[in-house]
């Protein structure tokens, strides 16, 4: 493998409920290495720990156990964040800003010079198909338009490492196709991409490697090509479902 861009060792996160301090192990013993230029898809059912993993990698959450390094820095370090792009799940924006104003605001936080901010915003709005809505208040955007804007802002700093949480969520078939096209383009530019998704055809088409999380534990990681010989995403779907079912059966056995 090439130089590690993301490295986690025995990473774990326990959430506590507010009142009774009830323990919930959201992530357990995650050891993962993602190399430069790799496209990695993290799969799992709802509540499996995918978003928790992303938040730990970005420093939005602090690990309960283990270690995490992103671009050689501790998670959330500003030097790493300067080289990272992030799209949260169902992103929210300031409703009083227009798309153009939000991209300018984000560009300022990356300390991009004014000329570059303007050029980049124009280019990205075009890429995600929001040129006509550039000056419209975000408060009037549809869910799909917000998702497109989220993708645009995540690419503003021309990041080396991209974190996308459910990038195709809320998008229509054309939007999903556009996202796949963008992913292919980013991949060809040598970006490292880490994304969570439920949509196995997208994962099958774009990812080099996948990881499957179940109940906070990584139950599989490996190359997509090993599963989907001939590019058949149905094989990935079968593989995913059987892996989850097997893990669930083992879990039930263990708890009974």
Partner 1 sequence: MHAVNAVMTIALNTLRETVRDRVLYAFLLFAFILTLAGIVLGSLSVGQNLRILIDLGLATISIFGGIIAIFVGTALVYKEIEKRTIYLIVTKPIKRWQFVLGKFLGLAICLLIVTILMGSFLVALAWYMSPDQKVNFDLVYSLPLIYLELLFITAIATFFSTFATPMMSVVFTLGAWLIGHLGQSLLALAQITESASTKLILKTAYWVMPDLAKLTLVRSDLTSGVNPGSELITYLVAYIMAYIVFLLALSTLITERREFP
Residues that bind partner 1 in the complex, under the rule CB under 8 A: 15, 55, 58-62, 76, 78-79, 81-82, 84, 86, 88, 91-94, 96-97, 105-106, 108-111, 153
CB of 108 to partner 1, least distance (A): 4
Which residue, 19 or 256, is less far from partner 1 as judged by CB?
19
**Spatial separation of the C-alpha atoms in residues 246 and 244, rounded to whole Å:** 5
Rounded CA separation 38/73 (Å): 19
- Minimum separation from the CB atom of position 191 to partner 1 (A): 17
Q: Considering the complex, what minimum distance in angstroms separates the CB of residue 147 from partner 1?
A: 13
- Shortest separation between residue 5's beta carbon and partner 1, angstroms: 16
Q: How far apart are CA 221 and CA 213, in angstroms?
A: 9
Locate 44 and state its tokens: 């799992």
Coil/strand/helix, residue 134? coil
> Cβ neighbours of residue 101 under 8 Å, at least 6 residues apart?
none
The distance of closest approach from Cβ of residue 12 to partner 1 in the complex, given in angstroms and rounded to an integer, is 14
Q: How far apart are CA 81 and CA 162, in angstroms?
A: 10
Is 39 or 106 the residue whose CB approaches partner 1 more closely? 106
Based on CB atoms, which residue is closest to partner 1, 93 or 194? Answer: 93
Choose among 54, 117, 64: nearest CA to 88: 54
Nearer to partner 1, 12 or 59 (CB): 59
Phi, psi (deg, nearest 5) at residue 65:
-135, 165
Whichever of 77 and 235 has its CB closer to partner 1, that residue is: 77
**DSSP category for residue 137:** B
Other Cβ atoms closer than 10 A to 188:
8
């Amino acid at each position: 493998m090439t130089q590690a861009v993301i490295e986690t060792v025995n990473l774990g996160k326990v959430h506590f409920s507010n009142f009774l301090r009830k323990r919930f192990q959201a992530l357990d013993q995650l050891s993962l290495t993602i190399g430069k230029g790799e496209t990695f898809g993290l799969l799992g059912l709802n509540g499996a720990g995918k978003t928790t993993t992303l938040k730990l990698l970005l420093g939005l959450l602090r690990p309960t156990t283990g270690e995490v390094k992103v671009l050689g820095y501790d998670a959330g370090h500003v030097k790493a964040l300067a080289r990272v792009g992030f799209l949260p799940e169902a992103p929210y924006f300031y409703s009083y800003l227009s798309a153009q104003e939000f991209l300018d605001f984000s560009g300022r936080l990356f300390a991009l010079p004014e000329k570059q901010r303007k050029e980049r915003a124009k280019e990205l709005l075009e890429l995600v198909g929001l040129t006509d809505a550039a000056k419209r208040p975000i408060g009037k955007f549809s869910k799909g338009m917000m998702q497109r804007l989220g993708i645009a802002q995540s690419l503003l700093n021309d990041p080396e490492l991209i974190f996308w949480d459910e990038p195709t969520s809320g998008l229509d078939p054309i939007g999903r196709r556009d996202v796949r096209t963008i992913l292919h383009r980013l991949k060809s530019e040598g970006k490292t991409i880490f994304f969570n998704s439920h949509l196995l055809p997208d994962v099958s088409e774009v990812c080099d490697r996948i990881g499957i999380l179940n109940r906070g534990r990584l139950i599989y990681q490996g190359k997509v090509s090993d599963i989907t010989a001939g590019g058949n995403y149905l094989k990935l779907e079968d593989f995913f479902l059987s892996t989850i079912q097997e893990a669930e059966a083992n879990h039930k056995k263990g708890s009974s």
